[in-house]
Structure 1
Amino acid sequence: MTHHALSAVLAGARLLPVLTVPSVASAGPLAEALATGGARCAEVTFRTPQAEQVVKVMAAHGGLTVGAGTVLTTEQAERAVAAGARFLVSPGFDIEVVDKGRELGVPVVPGAATATELMHALKAGLDTVKLFPAEPLGGIGTLRALAAPFPQMGFVPTGGIGPEQMSAYLAHPAVLAVGGSWLATRAHLERGAYDEIRRLTAEAVERTAP
């Protein structure tokens, strides 16, 4: 899938909320809070037993383009797309998951942390990867170093990024969008802090403006 395909699915959004949602009861209010805050897309990680149902509920909200993250297997990919996921994100590169995404007709964004993984992604015909875990890997400096020899590659940096770092990533021309989990943490969801999620989302969306 190309930058254009992913960008179209993300509706041009440069902020990708990364969500680990323990309970499907949170899905509806969470989708509403994110959409009201100005988010246009969201990634629901397949790290919880109810992730599939969360994708289904959030996709049905209609205000967000919902994708699935932490997709490790082709079986998860099939379940995610059947639940309404419009794109798939993996923490690493797995050609079977990439091929399954193509078969299902959705963009796949595999994780990459090294030049070797980027070369595998290029060989597979991809031009967008998730730089993960971005901050532990060295942050914007690592992104610049990896982007230089791969000018045809676009990046969605994710992992350890907060509001203080996102602007530097977004300023790099190779960055398509920034993934962030600070917008809706487990603690936010456990206490039902949807107003705070909406506020954090609105602040982050404002930072993405040119």
Structure 2
Amino acid sequence: MQDEPNLPAPYQPHAGLMAAFDACRMIAILRGVTPADAVAHGHALYDAGFRIVEVPLNSPQPLDSIAALRAALPADALVGAGTVLTPARVLDVKQAGGNLIVMPHADLDVIVAAKREGLACVPGVATPTEAFAALKHGADGLKMFPAEQLGPAVLKAWRAVFPVQVPLLPVGGIQPDNMGPFLAAGASGFGLGSALYKPGQDAAATRSHADAFVNGWRIALKGVKR
């Protein structure tokens, strides 16, 4: 019988992140959204069941969008920023009302800054070395990026050495009809980008795409034996 893998330090994930994650295990990425449109898309996602919304910082006026979403969405929704590249930007996000930091990489200084400010943090990782270092410095979950390159086989190998309570979240190329192999390999959830939202689409399209992902998740989960 194989022993359960142990983490290098006590793992105490952000309570707000885990509560939102339990409600819906998919993170909506609104890359390119504008402050004028953010709330409509946020409501569309929330009504479809999503509880975590990320506005990447390379979007137009991202902090204004984060502030608008935080003011508009119910308290059980987690709102934050993606593409956070420096510790200084962590404080900017917090001041805008965000409570989640997502990154494409595993900059340990950004992770430490996020945890110091009481924010949830999900860094991007592409190797187990990066992943364990991120967890040691306080990461709440791991964004496996890019998922197209890593694939289900790598995810399955990772799951053998990372405790089940650590969220492994493939991001990149996820579609409503390709989640099954990742879930079977041990994915905890997903980050959803352009297949969910593209700049310029209306909120009705976002709701339609969100519904498709929720349905795809349910179908994929039925085929997975856990």
Return the TM-score normalized by structure 2: 0.81
CA RMSD, Structure 1 to Structure 2 (Å): 2.1
Q: Is the CA contact 2:99–2:119 (under 8 Å) kept in the aligned structure 1?
A: yes
161-170 vs 91-100, which deviates more? Answer: 161-170
Corresponding residue number in structure 2 for 1:83? 96
Partners in 2 of 1:87 and 1:47 — Cα distance?
A: 16
Partners in 1 of 2:212 and 2:134 — Cα distance?
A: 33
29-38 vs 53-62, which deviates more? Answer: 29-38
Instruction: Give me the identity figure in percent.
Output: 33
Partners in 1 of 2:188 and 2:99 — Cα distance?
A: 17
- Quick one: which amino acid aligns to residue 99 of structure 2? R
Give the direction of change, closer, same or farther, for the CA distance of 1:142–1:90 in structure 2 (3 Å limit). same
Corresponding residue number in structure 2 for 1:2? 12
Map residues 5-154 of structure 1 onto 2, 5 A cutoff: 5=15, 6-10=17-21, 12-63=23-74, 64-126=77-139, 128-135=141-148, 137-151=149-163, 153-154=166-167
Q: Secondary structure at the match of 1:164?
A: coil
Corresponding residue number in structure 2 for 1:176? 188
67-76 vs 5-14, which deviates more? Answer: 5-14
Point out where structure 2 has 5 or more consecutive residues left out of the alignment.
1-10, 222-226
Superposed CA offset, 1:39-94 (max 9, x none):
22211111124111111111111243212111111111111111121211111111
Partners in 2 of 1:70 and 1:165 — Cα distance?
A: 24
Give the number of aligned pairs: 204
Point out where structure 1 has 5 or more consecutive residues left out of the alignment.
none
Give the direction of change, closer, same or farther, for the CA distance of 1:104–1:11 in structure 2 (3 Å limit). farther
Q: Is the CA contact 1:14–1:208 (under 8 Å) kept in the aligned structure 2?
A: no
Corresponding residue number in structure 2 for 1:200? 209
Return the TM-score normalized by structure 1: 0.87
Partners in 1 of 2:94 and 2:139 — Cα distance?
A: 19
Superposed CA offset, 1:166-191 (max 9, x none):
23323444x332001111112xxx2x
Q: Is the CA contact 1:133–1:157 (under 8 Å) kept in the aligned structure 2?
A: yes
